[in-house]
Amino acid sequence: MLQEVDKNSSRTYGKDEAYALGINNSTYALNYSCKFVPYPVPPIGRVNSGLLTTTVYDIDSAERISLPCPFKLAGQHRKSQALPARELSAYIRNEQQARYRKSPPGGL
């Protein structure tokens, strides 16, 4: 298992690290997503980071289960399901297109 594997993040210049590793039998679970991280200096920027689990066996399905958190956090957590690495790029692209359609004219 690899931690902090980025997909479409500023800190990796938009590179899909799971794809770049070339591991066929893997699944990716997004566990941190932020439009802009303002620190350190210079800022990190956009981050989409997760866990990449690899195996020599075929993966039929995978699920990320979010456990209850005892701390009160700002914002809401969304449920996410682990996707095979080969499907995640399309998922991120669809999410970005949906956000673009919802954004006000002239940007934010």
pLDDT-derived band at 77, boundaries 50, 70, 90: very low
| Cβ-based neighbours of 51, under 8 Å, separated by 6 or more | 1, 2, 3, 5, 28, 29, 31
CA dihedral 91, 94, 95, 101 (to 10 degrees): 180
Average pLDDT, the chain: 77
pLDDT given at position 69: 66
CA distances from 96 to 8, 36, 101 (A): 11, 14, 9
pLDDT given at position 88: 64
The 3-class secondary structure across 27-40, one letter per residue, is: EEEEEEEEEEECCC
CB atoms within 10 A of CB 101: 7
Residue 25 has pLDDT above 70, yes or no: yes
pTM above 0.85, yes or no: no
Residue-wise pLDDT for 40-65, tens only, equals 888 888 999 999 999 999 888 888 87
Residue 102 has pLDDT above 80, yes or no: no
- Confirm if 4 and 49 have CB atoms less than 8 A apart: yes
